[in-house]
Amino acid sequence: MDHLAFWTILAGLLTGVSCALVGCFLVLRRMSLLGDAISHAVLPGIAVGFLLSGKISGPAIVLGAMTMGLLTAFLTQSITSATRVSEDASLGVVFTAFFALGVVLLTISAKGVDLDAGCVLYGLIEFIPFDTIEWNGLLIPRAIITLGFTLLLTGSVIALFWKELKLASFDPALATTLGYPASLLHYLLMALVAGVTVASFEAVGSILVVAMLVVPAAAAHLLTDRLGIMILIASLLASLSAIFGYLFALQYNTSVAGMMAVVAGGFFALALILAPRYGLLAKVLRQARLTLRIAREDLLGTLYRREEANQRGEQPAATSGRPDLLTGSRPLFRKLALRQLLHRGLVQGRADHYELTPAGRDRAIQLVRAHRLWEAYLEQNVSLPPDHLHAPAEKMEHYVGPNLLRELESALRQPATDPHGRTIPPSGPSPR
Amino acid sequence: MSFLQYNTLLVLTGTCLLGAVGGFVGSLAVLRRRALAGDAFAHASLPGLCLAFFLVGERSFIALLIGAFVTGSLGLAAVALLRRFSRIKEDAALGIVLSVFFGAGIVFSRIIQGQHTTGNKAGLDSYIFGKTAGIISQDVLLIAAAAGLCLLVILLLYKEFQLVTFDADFGQSQGWPVLLLDLLMLGLLGLVVTIGLPAVGVVMVAALLILPAVTARFWTDRLSRMLPISAVLGAAMGAGGTALSSSYADLPAGPVIVLTGTSFFIVSALFAPRRGLIARWRQSRFLPLPPPELDDGLPYVAPDPGGRL
């Protein structure tokens, strides 16, 4: 790797990780858009700092931008509380106004200087390696030192106030009642956001800062429930976005900062689909497994009721023939469920019909027992008319676990029949 | 008098109409708590602009706007889907969509600039910050047509939109097609953002929707008055901003329009008769217990014993 690539990637990496650190708190506190607003609103601060100092970097600009960032947080909150303009609207007013002011100030002040409006939006990460200073005999890009210092500062502030920030993020009301100064913590976080935004500004510009603030943190939020791990994952994703963003940008000869945002978006999309617990795929699979289990249990219940009807000598309304058992809603799931039941030895196929095996009968008895107990319970306690009892019980039978079953039994004192006069099968293996 | 020339007059007409329709549609959006949907739409429209630029090759106003509308709508759809099907909250969903789509737009625009070397950069950059000077008569016609369409739809469906804006759940329970009406409102919002792009630019076009509406809200409690007030404020903001920026040739129009609107907002926030800060301050001095205002759906906050809110 040549040193140009090294410094560019390192700059992207430092930017990404600093942003991801504070971004996690923004995402958890549902303040992502305040980060967005601050990243826009620091522009006039930068412009004024530039007007005063004549340099495009340095303490004047950082100070100006930090002031504007905190002012944004303050103004948004006070407009909402003082005038009842809703929070999102006041955010929109403040950041567009500040951004407009910044563009105007820059247009007036920065003619002929390489601080044009374009670099405001997408940064100049490609030029970072060329602006170097000597440090212990090494030529190091100036921005790397700034960004490294920012990361160090952000990391240590978060480590120092870890407990407080964590509490305030998950339960601000509890934090206040415990005596932590919630609004002070809020402004501390906003100061961090402003600081990180200013430092990252040069590298990725004002809008792609938002990508680094929000996207890795949101992706990490999909992958874990623990704050510490979330921060680690977000930092890792931000670093990978920086590396691959640079490589892809090189490949297609395009903007590094833009590509970093796109790669981060790609990681987010992957997390959205594949996350083990909160991913879309996991959700679909969970849903399908549940549907399948319900289909299996419904089949067992149906077969048991037919057996019952046969024993009583009634002619069953329908035979247990193959096509008949599989008709109804979701035929695909029914077919699959039947195959599973056969495979597990709960149901066996005869020449023209299916019947329960002893193991299948035990399982079916549990289900039908749950169903009828629930019906009896509903009749006793909810006073539904008899023809309204079946439908809720049909749903509930799949969710009655051993604990609920015991409670039902003790509440009903072991009834022998359900409201329709059918025998409630006793628990335990069937006498056959 | 530079701004009485034909071109300037044309541009003035365009931005005036744009501001008016922005105020109209924005009122509904702001009341529905969708102020920032316009922002997300605008940012998400950048890749569409660039792709249309790439496909059509030259500056074709309509093609660019169609491209912008398509990816902008995709962006809003992504926000809605993220909210509905994942644990991502709305704020993060908006942030993700606007920054990633914008990043993709920047990536495309740089690739395009690498391939076409002549003057294209200026074309696309003007969509980011807004440049009214480039507006020609056909563009104004297009803006006028879009504005007319928005006006017509809102006037025809005024009652329905009002219902969805203030009590969507009630509307749902009464069998109104709430989802369809909502989509239509978002469509209008997208249309306004799209035609506003060339004048105000991607980053600030959301202000066209937010500023007039929020400002008008200070002057009235009734939607039937808020809509026209907001439209007038929007028109004044568009025209005033354009006039100002054309007298200082170097200033891009977008930011000046936004700052004009901001000044309206500040004046209204301070001096509006009942809801303005000064009026509220005086009221809180003379009336120790102000009546609860529940019209915003915000919880009523009891004043402390000092009598100040």
Helices H / strands E in chain A, number of each: 17, 4
pLDDT at B60: 75
pLDDT at B3: 47
In 3-state terms chain A splits into helix, strand, coil percentages (rounded to 5) of: 75, 5, 20
Which has the closest alpha carbon to A238: A5, A7, A33, A18?
A: A18
Whether residue B226 is predicted with pLDDT greater than 60 in this model: the reply is yes
Q: How far apart are CA B30 and CA B165, in angstroms?
A: 9
Which has the closest alpha carbon to B110: A126, A12, A96, A112?
A: A126
The shortest CB-CB distance from A261 to any of B33, B91, B103 is to B103
Q: How far apart are CA B204 and CA B196, in angstroms?
A: 10
* % residues pLDDT > 90 (chain B): 37
Burial A187-226 (b: 16+ CB within 10 A, else e): bbbbbbbbbbbbbbbbbbbbbbbbbbbbbbbbbbbbbbee
* Residue A280 contacts residue A273 (beta carbons within 8 Å): yes
Cβ of B296 under 8 Å from any chain A Cβ? yes
Q: What is the DSSP code (8-state) at residue A113?
A: S
Q: What is the DSSP code (8-state) at residue A384?
A: -
Q: How far apart are CA A236 and CA A216, in angstroms?
A: 8
Whether residue A103 is predicted with pLDDT greater than 50 in this model: the reply is yes
Answer yes or no: do B103 and A211 touch at CB < 8 A: yes
Highest mean pLDDT of the ranges A25-29, A106-110, A353-357, B113-117: A25-29
Min mean pLDDT across A91-105, A305-319, A400-414 is at A305-319
Residues in CB range of A52: below 8 A, 6 or more apart: A60, A64
The shortest CB-CB distance from B100 to any of A40, A100, A261 is to A261
Higher pLDDT: B72 or B254? It is: B72
Mean pLDDT of the residues in chain B: 82
The shortest CB-CB distance from A258 to any of B98, B103, B211 is to B103
Whether residue B193 is predicted with pLDDT greater than 50 in this model: the reply is yes
User: In the numeric block, which tokens belong to residue A222?
Assistant: 């999909």
Highest mean pLDDT of the ranges B27-36, B70-79, B282-291: B70-79
- Say if residue A38 is exposed, middle or buried (CB neighbours under 10 Å; 0-12, 13-18, 19+): buried
Q: What is the chain A residue with the closest CA to B309?
A: A82
Other C-beta atoms closer than 10 Å to the C-beta of B158 total 14
The shortest CB-CB distance from A104 to any of B217, B256, B265 is to B256
pLDDT at A428: 59
| Best A104, A244, A248 residue to mutate vs chain B (most B CBs within 10 Å) | A104
User: In the numeric block, which tokens belong to residue A410?
Assistant: 């003790």
Q: What is the chain B residue with the closest CA to A211?
A: B99
| Best B99, B264, B309 residue to mutate vs chain A (most A CBs within 10 Å) | B99
A215 CB neighbours in chain B (<8 A) are 95-96, 99-100
Answer yes or no: do B100 and A262 touch at CB < 8 A: yes
Q: How confident is the model at residue A27 (pLDDT cuts 50, 70, 90)?
A: very high
Residues in CB range of B97: below 8 A, 6 or more apart: B40, B43, B44, B75, B76, B78, B79, B82
A197-235 tens-digit pLDDT:
888 877 777 777 899 999 999 999 999 999 999 999 999
Answer yes or no: do A214 and B92 touch at CB < 8 A: yes
Answer yes or no: do B96 and A215 touch at CB < 8 A: yes
pLDDT at B121: 52
Q: What is the chain B residue with the closest CA to A224?
A: B87
Residue type, B291: P
Whether residue A142 is predicted with pLDDT greater than 90 in this model: the reply is no
Mean pLDDT of the residues in chain A: 84
CA atoms within 13 Å, Cβ hemisphere of A423: 11
How close B15 comes to chain A (CA, Å)?
17
Higher pLDDT: A219 or A107? It is: A219
Whether residue A265 is predicted with pLDDT greater than 90 in this model: the reply is yes
Q: What is the DSSP code (8-state) at residue B303?
A: P
* % residues pLDDT > 90 (chain A): 25
Min mean pLDDT across A118-132, A335-349, B145-159 is at A118-132
How close A337 comes to chain B (CA, Å)?
27
How close A411 comes to chain B (CA, Å)?
38
Min mean pLDDT across A63-67, A109-113, B211-215 is at A109-113
* Residue B251 contacts residue A107 (beta carbons within 8 Å): yes
Highest mean pLDDT of the ranges A51-65, A118-132, A246-260: A246-260
Q: What is the chain A residue with the closest CA to B92?
A: A32
Burial A373-394 (b: 16+ CB within 10 A, else e): bbbbbbbeeeeeeeeebeeebe
pLDDT at B307: 36
Backbone angles phi, psi at A424, to 5 degrees: -85, 115
Cβ of B102 under 8 Å from any chain A Cβ? yes
* Alpha carbon distances (Å) from A20 to A112, A202, A388, B94: 34, 17, 54, 17
Answer yes or no: do A262 and B82 touch at CB < 8 A: no
Burial B61-97 (b: 16+ CB within 10 A, else e): bebbbebbbbbbbbbbebbbebeeebebbbbbbbbbb
Whether residue B234 is predicted with pLDDT greater than 90 in this model: the reply is yes
Q: How confident is the model at residue A117 (pLDDT cuts 50, 70, 90)?
A: low
Q: How confident is the model at residue B165 (pLDDT cuts 50, 70, 90)?
A: confident
Whether residue B305 is predicted with pLDDT greater than 50 in this model: the reply is no
How close B2 comes to chain A (CA, Å)?
21
Q: How confident is the model at residue A270 (pLDDT cuts 50, 70, 90)?
A: very high
Min mean pLDDT across A32-36, B113-117, B222-226, B237-241 is at B113-117
Q: How confident is the model at residue A314 (pLDDT cuts 50, 70, 90)?
A: low
How close A221 comes to chain B (CA, Å)?
8
The shortest CB-CB distance from B92 to any of A93, A99, A218 is to A218
Q: What is the chain B residue with the closest CA to A260?
A: B103
Q: How confident is the model at residue A420 (pLDDT cuts 50, 70, 90)?
A: confident
Whether residue B225 is predicted with pLDDT greater than 80 in this model: the reply is yes
Cβ of B2 under 8 Å from any chain A Cβ? no
Task: Give me the residues of B, 127-156, that contact A with CB < 8 A.
Answer: 128-129
| Best A27, A29, A75, A88 residue to mutate vs chain B (most B CBs within 10 Å) | A88
Which has the closest alpha carbon to B298: B283, B282, B309, B286?
A: B309
Cβ of B83 under 8 Å from any chain A Cβ? no
